[in-house]
Amino acid sequence: MLGGVRSARLPEVPVTAPVPPARHRLLALPGGRVHVVEQGEGPLVLLLHGFPESWHAWRHQLPVLAAAGYRAVAVDARGYGRSSRPGAPEAYRAVALVGELVALVRALGEERAVLAGHDWGATLAGQAGLLRPEVFSAIALLGVPYTPPGGPRPSEVFAAMGGEEEFYVPFLQRPGVAEAEMEQDVRGWLAGFYTTLSGRSGVVPPGPFFVPRGHAMRERFVDGPLPSWLSEEELDVYAGEFERTGFGGALARYRVMDRDWEDLAAWEGEPLRQPSLFLAGREDASLAWLSEAVDAFPRTLPGLRGTHLLDDCGHWVQQERPDEVGALLVEWLAGLDR
């Protein structure tokens, strides 16, 4: 059960003077090149995307946050877009990515930042807040709830989840297997994945998260038109990036989950104590197997200042419901200022 949640209302977004256009920047950090898109001036808010996306997932929120008086910076994660794509899986460990986020804050001339992350970006935001609370002062999680480190080894948990079918994480963890499926038709695979995990797709949980052994994920995708939140031109943006980069860097995070479990063992069971926020689509199929993490928020997120499930919304929450997400983030950030 998803206890203690409420449907989101739409707060008003403060209106300020027009802001300059967003600008792209490439920053040379100790771990490699990081591509960011920046808009606005004020307290720093880093926006972290998930799989399989890019900075473009935050295109709607950048101007909203900038207009509200914040310096919004959407990041291409390591392995994605124009950021560096190391070959070694160890380069994608959580501790390495947290270190890169700290270096990014410093490179942007700041000492502290608020993090807002979606999907894998939410997982990384929680890990960064846990490891470096003096740098990351507040954490907004979209789509994926915070789960403290610890418990059984992830590979053992995932192997036990499938039964006669295979849970999608082990499928994505096998080098070359997922790439072979995705890269034979990048645009078609992305279109199917985005559509299937969108609200009103008609998918019954757990959706494509369980794969018949020896079959492809795309066999469980919805065969239909693009969702209303995704135009053909926007799909072209995502497809163009993955046509150029491939999926190896994006999939690396799945392939170091056991290593992260080992690296973060010293923080086993630790709550995330900073002010926090959780936003998700009520129709997000992943909530079917993450509901216990949401129910545990009173213990795991003692600084939680709001949990919002958006009706008629699936996994791609900040793209499916850009106005609500922008307004809720601004309202939460204003509360931090107060």
User: What's the confidence (pLDDT) of residue 338?
Assistant: 66
305 and 4 Cβ atoms separated by less than 8 Å: no
Same domain, 268 and 285: yes
Token pair listed for 200: 């009103």
Q: What is the pLDDT of residues 24-52, one digit of tens each?
A: 999 999 999 999 999 999 999 999 999 99
Q: What is the CATH number of the domain that holds 15?
A: 3.40.50.1820
Q: Of 206, 234, 254, which one is at a domain's C-terminal end? A: 254
Q: What is the pLDDT of residues 296-310, one digit of tens each?
A: 999 999 999 999 999
Report the C-alpha gap between 181 and 217 in whole angstroms. Answer: 8
Using the predicted structure, report yes or no on whether residue 206 has a pLDDT greater than 70: no
- Provide the domain limits for residue 159: 154-254
Q: What is the pLDDT of residues 111-138, one digit of tens each?
A: 999 999 999 999 999 999 999 999 999 9
Interval 319-323 mean pLDDT: 98
Using the predicted structure, report yes or no on whether residue 211 has a pLDDT greater than 50: yes
Give the percent of the chain with pLDDT over 70. 93
Interval 94-114 mean pLDDT: 98
Q: What is the pLDDT of residues 59-95, one digit of tens each?
A: 999 999 999 999 999 999 999 999 999 999 999 999 9
Q: Of 209, 225, 254, which one is at a domain's C-terminal end? A: 254
Using the predicted structure, report yes or no on whether residue 11 has a pLDDT greater than 70: no
Q: Of 200, 231, 254, which one is at a domain's C-terminal end? A: 254
What is the bridge-based pairing of β-strands 165-167 and 210-212? antiparallel
Q: What is the pLDDT of residues 18-31, one digit of tens each?
A: 788 999 999 999 99
Using the predicted structure, report yes or no on whether residue 8 has a pLDDT greater than 70: no
Nearby residues of 219 by Cβ (< 8 Å), 6 or more positions away: 211, 212
Residue 174: closest CA among 132, 216, 207? 216
Q: What confidence tier does 323 reach under pLDDT thresholds 50, 70, 90?
A: very high
Q: Which residues of 169-181 are buried (b: 16+ CB within 10 A; e: fewer)?
A: bbbbbeeeebbeb
Interval 82-109 mean pLDDT: 97
Q: What confidence tier does 17 reach under pLDDT thresholds 50, 70, 90?
A: low
User: What's the confidence (pLDDT) of residue 3?
Assistant: 45
Same domain, 189 and 211: yes
Interval 192-210 mean pLDDT: 83
Same domain, 196 and 292: no
Report the C-alpha gap between 173 and 195 in whole angstroms. Answer: 23
The CB-side HSE value for 20 (13 A sphere, CA atoms) comes to 10
Radius of gyration of the chain (CA): 19
229 and 314 Cβ atoms separated by less than 8 Å: no
Using the predicted structure, report yes or no on whether residue 318 has a pLDDT greater than 70: yes
| Domain annotation covers residue 259 | no
Q: What is the pLDDT of residues 259-305, one digit of tens each?
A: 999 999 999 999 999 999 999 999 998 888 899 999 999 999 999 99
Same domain, 135 and 236: no
Question: Measured between alpha carbons, how far is residue 74 from residues 57, 142, 215, 234, 311 in Å?
Answer: 9, 14, 35, 17, 26
Q: Look up the pTM and report it.
A: 0.94
Report the C-alpha gap between 124 and 132 in whole angstroms. Answer: 12
Examine residue 52 and say whether the peptide bond preceding it is cis (omega within 30 degrees of 0): yes
User: What's the confidence (pLDDT) of residue 1?
Assistant: 45
Number of domains in the chain: 2
Report the C-alpha gap between 156 and 135 in whole angstroms. Answer: 33
135 and 111 Cβ atoms separated by less than 8 Å: yes
Same domain, 97 and 226: no
Report the C-alpha gap between 23 and 39 in whole angstroms. Answer: 7
- Mind telling me the catalytic residues? 119, 315
Burial of 108: CB neighbours in 10 Å, binned 0-12, 13-18, 19+: middle
